[in-house]
């Protein structure tokens, strides 16, 4: 009831005028009163200025025109234009030609605008441009609430500021906070970066950006994808959540995970279903662990990869597992810590620490440091095993195959000698300080013993079962990934060993220091 009375009262308010000249003629424009020269009109708290005005008293309406029409809606909103229709009953303003709406936070330019004084809402349907501080937004259709300072823009929305240019079908903009809200698929770009998102916001004053929904970031040589991406330009810090994927076409690697954070030219961290793919001419290496930590040089190139907790990797010619791993790109070294195991062809290689020195994608040397052990199955049923053991072992991998092994310190071997038809000749057991084993076609071709070896060839029946495995023997083939998908399953059980001294080795369940 109170609302109805207020509405009737508002409709009954008359429009009052001041002018140099008043003319009235019943035949003049439907009986309108014409005010000319320094016209001022008032309706409630609204005040207008124009050269000429026509007042239609019967319907409480006026038309204003002249060199410049100006209407002050309240103490913060002013409208400018060349022609105006003011409806005192409906409390609406229709203003056209060279229209400007100004308030304390923005200026809106258009050719035609309707402003509803009841809702503090102005809108245009034929194209408009909003300017707020360093931001300019244009669109075909726009609604601007001067009370909330919120503009809703539709159809061919275009944003320009000092940092980015953006295009979208629809967006909202708060002229007070200077935050742009993306409400449709949006492309935001600069000279260095291209962003795409379905939803999100861009704080143009705080220089922060949230992309939410099929988010993409592209720059020279790199593409980042995720369900959601956040970036703070002030500190060059970013985060990504769910289905995050970084593709580097220059350095040929892919990183995936459900959480990522990064600092430009500093570091990146990926966790939750982390997958690292090192691409190499169709023979890619796939690696999974709990967490990946990458350090970058000043050129934004990776210089070190720290991988820790339940590491497992797969490549067609080589597979492996450990608890922690470090890859230094500059000197091409990979070091595996805590319970490491590598499978190469038919061979299983273990040690307290395993280190690779990479020459290229198919040639490398490796070191099994302390408690070094190499095992291969003699028969398909995995009941008998060739074994090589020592304090340290250095191996040479040529063209993806193990070709030579040097055992240094406390060398032991147990080797099954077979006829060409695979019948067993005997079992050679030997011990010495050092030995060298040469391989061909994944089979032992010769063994050279140094420094007074002690050995014996046993007939099959004379070597007891307990003597057919060297001390600390382990067969871990059940953990070996047969495909790249297996790296996400069955981490190798830990044994109580410690890695060789290495300042890069992260502690068990510890990550390297944050840079």
Q: In this predicted structure, which of 43-47, 196-200, 248-252 has the lowest mean pLDDT?
A: 248-252
Residue 292 has pLDDT above 90, yes or no: yes
pLDDT at 500: 55
> What would the mean pLDDT of 432-439 be, rounded to a whole number?
90
The three-class DSSP label of residue 175 is coil
- State the Cα–Cα distance between residues 329 and 348, nearest whole angstrom: 25
- State the Cα–Cα distance between residues 342 and 417, nearest whole angstrom: 24
CB 277 within 8 A of CB 285: yes
Please name which of 414, 450, 445 lies closest in space to residue 432, comparing C-alpha atoms: 450
**DSSP code at position 395:** E
pLDDT at 502: 60
Confidence of residue 515 (pLDDT cuts 50, 70, 90): very low
Calculate the CA 219 to chain-centre distance. Answer: 12
Q: What value does the mean pLDDT of the chain take?
A: 88
Q: In this predicted structure, which of 57-61, 87-91, 302-306, 491-495 has the lowest mean pLDDT?
A: 491-495
pTM, rounded to two decimals: 0.81
> What would the mean pLDDT of 387-394 be, rounded to a whole number?
94
Q: Does domain 347-479 have CATH number 2.60.40.10?
A: no
Residue 511 has pLDDT above 80, yes or no: no
> What would the mean pLDDT of 498-508 be, rounded to a whole number?
55
> What would the mean pLDDT of 388-404 be, rounded to a whole number?
89
pLDDT at 409: 93
Sequence ranges of the domains in the chain? 11-102, 347-479
Confidence of residue 119 (pLDDT cuts 50, 70, 90): very high
Left (φ > 0), alpha (ψ -120 to 50) or beta: where does 271 sit? beta
For 88-132, list the strands marked E by DSSP: 92-102, 107-116, 121-124, 128-132
- State the Cα–Cα distance between residues 138 and 161, nearest whole angstrom: 12
Give me the long-range contacts of 271-274 (CB less than 8 A, separation at least 24).
273/488
Give every CB contact of residue 84 below 8 A, 6+ residues apart in sequence: 48, 50, 62, 63, 64, 65, 69, 71, 93, 94, 95, 96
Give every CB contact of residue 303 below 8 A, 6+ residues apart in sequence: 295, 296, 297, 328, 329, 330
Residue 7 has pLDDT above 80, yes or no: no
Confidence of residue 446 (pLDDT cuts 50, 70, 90): confident
Six token digits for residue 436: 């060298």
The three-class DSSP label of residue 372 is strand
Top-confidence residue, 345 or 254: 254
> What would the mean pLDDT of 262-269 be, rounded to a whole number?
85
Give every CB contact of residue 63 below 8 A, 6+ residues apart in sequence: 32, 53, 54, 56, 83, 84, 85, 86
**Angle formed at CA 233 by CA 229 and CA 237, multiple of 5 degrees:** 60
Domains 11-102 and 347-479 share a fold: yes
With residue 5 as reference, give the H or E element that holds it.
helix 2-12
- State the Cα–Cα distance between residues 110 and 126, nearest whole angstrom: 8
The three-class DSSP label of residue 481 is coil
Give every CB contact of residue 465 below 8 A, 6+ residues apart in sequence: none
> What would the mean pLDDT of 44-61 be, rounded to a whole number?
93
> What would the mean pLDDT of 274-283 be, rounded to a whole number?
86
CB 304 within 8 A of CB 329: yes
pLDDT digits (tens, 9 = 90+) for 173-231: 999 999 999 999 999 999 888 999 999 999 999 999 999 999 999 988 889 999 999 99
> What would the mean pLDDT of 404-415 be, rounded to a whole number?
92
pLDDT at 453: 85
- State the Cα–Cα distance between residues 310 and 112, nearest whole angstrom: 65
Question: In terms of DSSP bridges, do strands 333-337 and 302-315 run parallel, antiparallel, or are they unpaired?
Answer: unpaired
User: What is the distance between the terminal CA atoms of the chain, rounded to a whole angstrom?
Assistant: 68
Confidence of residue 155 (pLDDT cuts 50, 70, 90): very high
**DSSP code at position 467:** G
pLDDT at 10: 44
Can you give the C-alpha Rg of the chain in angstroms? 39
The three-class DSSP label of residue 73 is coil
pLDDT at 280: 80
The dihedral built from the CA positions of residue 219, 220, 224 and 225, taken in this order, carries a sign that is: positive
pLDDT digits (tens, 9 = 90+) for 322-376: 999 999 988 889 999 999 999 988 889 999 999 999 888 778 888 999 999 999 9
The CATH classification number of 11-102 equals 2.60.450.10
Confidence of residue 494 (pLDDT cuts 50, 70, 90): low
């Amino acid at each position: 009831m109170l609302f109805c009375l207020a509405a009737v009262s508002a409709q009954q308010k008359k429009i009052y005028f001041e002018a140099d000249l008043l003319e009235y003629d019943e035949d003049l424009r439907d009986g309108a009163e014409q005010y000319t020269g320094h016209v001022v009109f008032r309706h409630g708290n609204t005040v207008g200025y124009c050269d000429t005005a026509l007042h239609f008293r019967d319907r409480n309406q006026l038309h204003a025109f002249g060199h410049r029409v100006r209407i002050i809606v309240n103490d913060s909103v002013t409208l400018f234009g060349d022609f105006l229709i003011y409806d005192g009953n409906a409390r609406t303003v229709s203003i056209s030609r060279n229209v400007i709406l100004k308030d304390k936070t923005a200026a809106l330019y258009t050719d035609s605008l309707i402003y509803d004084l009841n809702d503090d809402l102005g809108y245009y349907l034929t194209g408009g441009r909003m300017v707020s501080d360093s931001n300019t937004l244009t669109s075909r259709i726009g609604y601007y609430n001067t009370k909330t300072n919120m503009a809703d823009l539709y159809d061919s929305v275009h944003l320009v500021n000092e940092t980015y240019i953006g295009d979208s079908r629809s967006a909202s903009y708060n002229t007070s906070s200077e935050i742009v809200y993306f409400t449709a698929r949006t492309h935001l770009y600069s000279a260095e970066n291209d962003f795409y998102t379905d939803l999100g916001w861009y704080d143009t004053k705080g220089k922060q950006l949230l992309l939410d929904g099929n988010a993409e970031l592209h720059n020279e040589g790199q593409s980042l994808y995720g369900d959601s991406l956040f970036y703070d330009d002030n500190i060059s810090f970013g985060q990504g959540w769910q289905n995050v994927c970084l593709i580097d076409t220059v350095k040929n690697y892919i990183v995936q995970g459900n959480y990522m954070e990064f600092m430009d030219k500093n570091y990146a961290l990926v966790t939750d279903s982390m997958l690292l793919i090192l691409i190499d001419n169709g023979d890619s290496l796939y690696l999974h662990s709990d967490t990946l930590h990458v350090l970058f040089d000043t050129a934004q190139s990776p210089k070190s990869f720290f991988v820790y907790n339940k590491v497992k990797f797969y490549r067609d010619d080589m597979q492996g597992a450990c608890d922690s791993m470090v890859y230094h790109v500059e000197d091409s070294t990979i070091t595996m810590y805590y319970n490491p195991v590598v499978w190469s062809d038919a061979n299983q290689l273990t040690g307290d620490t395993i280190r690779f020195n990479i020459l290229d994608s198919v040639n490398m040397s490796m070191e099994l440091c302390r408690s070094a052990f190499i095992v291969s199955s003699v028969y398909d049923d995995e009941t008998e095993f060739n074994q090589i053991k020592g304090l340290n072992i250095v191996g040479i991998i040529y063209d993806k195959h193990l070709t030579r092994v040097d055992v240094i310190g406390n060398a032991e071997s147990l080797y099954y000698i077979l006829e060409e038809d695979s019948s067993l000749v005997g079992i050679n057991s030997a011990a010495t300080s050092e030995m060298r084993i040469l391989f061909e076609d994944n089979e032992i071709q010769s063994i050279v013993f140094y420094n007074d070896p002690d050995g014996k060839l046993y007939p099959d029946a004379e070597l007891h079962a307990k003597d057919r495995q060297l001390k600390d023997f382990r067969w871990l083939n059940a953990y070996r990934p047969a495909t790249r998908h297996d790296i996400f399953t069955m981490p190798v059980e830990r044994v109580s060993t410690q890695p060789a001294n290495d300042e890069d080795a992260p502690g068990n369940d510890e990550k390297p220091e944050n840079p």
